[in-house]
Amino acid sequence: MPTQEDRVAALERKVAMLELLRLQDERKAEEALPPAQARHMREINENLTILLGVTSSQGGDIKVIKEDVSSIKDRLDRLETQSTEHTGRFDHVEALLTQILARLPEKP
């Protein structure tokens, strides 16, 4: 089974190939289309290029978010463990205080 690195590399190769094909199609289209349509085609291609940049940037952002979430989960687990330990300690202290109060004389 391919690793995530291999899958990302394959995806990057496919995106690069699609970009090359798009550029080739753009050149052919510009030669065959009237000027207005060629201009619209360039605008579409520019928007596609921007979209590809945004999606690749978001991929990095998602990776950072996943790492942050993992870190938060680890920290939350530690806090839950500490909370459980503190609850046990408070129960013990409460039991000791109950014993001490039981030994004290009642107010006259």
> Among 16, 12, 34, which Cα is nearest to 24's?
16
Residues 95-106 have a mean pLDDT of 92
Location of structure tokens 């459980």: 84
How confident is residue 99, by pLDDT bands cut at 50, 70 and 90? very high
> Taking the C-alpha atoms of 33, 34, 36 and 40 in order, what is their torsion angle to the nearest 10 degrees?
0
Spell out the alpha helix ranges (H) of the chain.
4-32, 35-103
Single-letter amino acid code for the residue at 26 = E
Residues 55-81 have a mean pLDDT of 93
- Looking at the chain, the whole-number percentage of residues with pLDDT higher than 70 is 98
End-to-end CA distance of the chain: 80
Domain residue ranges in the chain: 4-103
